[in-house]
Amino acid sequence: MLSPFYLSGGSDLELSFPLKGLNVGAPASKQPAGTSRDLNNVRPFYDGKAVGGQRIGVDKKYSEQISSASVPIVAMCSVTTVD
């Protein structure tokens, strides 16, 4: 699944989607074929086919608003104390 990428000099460069996923265990100069050092919200397969693309959004867990504020909740934490 290679796609041609045309450079300004008229030559083309073959790029492929990293179907083998994320690999940060090797230096960039020895990156295994089919992997990438930087992936974010992508998925290689859809309906059993190797297509490569953006990960779909997720559904809301709850439909009701859990805060009276008009801004979304961006972080939550849990605090435990020991007496």
- In our burial notation (b when 16+ CB lie closer than 10 A, e otherwise), range 46-59 reads eeeeeebeeeeeee
Domains of the chain, by residue range, sit at 2-54
pLDDT at residue 10, as a whole number: 65
pLDDT at residue 64, as a whole number: 74
* Average pLDDT along the chain, 83 residues, taken 10 residues at a time: 57 79 88 87 82 75 70 80 85
pTM value > 0.75: no
Q: Count Cβ atoms below 10 Å from residue 18 Cβ, excluding itself.
A: 20
Q: What CA–CA distance (Å, rounded) separates 50 from 69?
A: 42
CA dihedral sign, ordered 66, 70, 71, 72: positive
Residues with Cβ within 8 Å of 26's Cβ and at least 6 positions away in sequence, in order, are 32
pLDDT at residue 55, as a whole number: 75
DSSP conformation class of 70: S
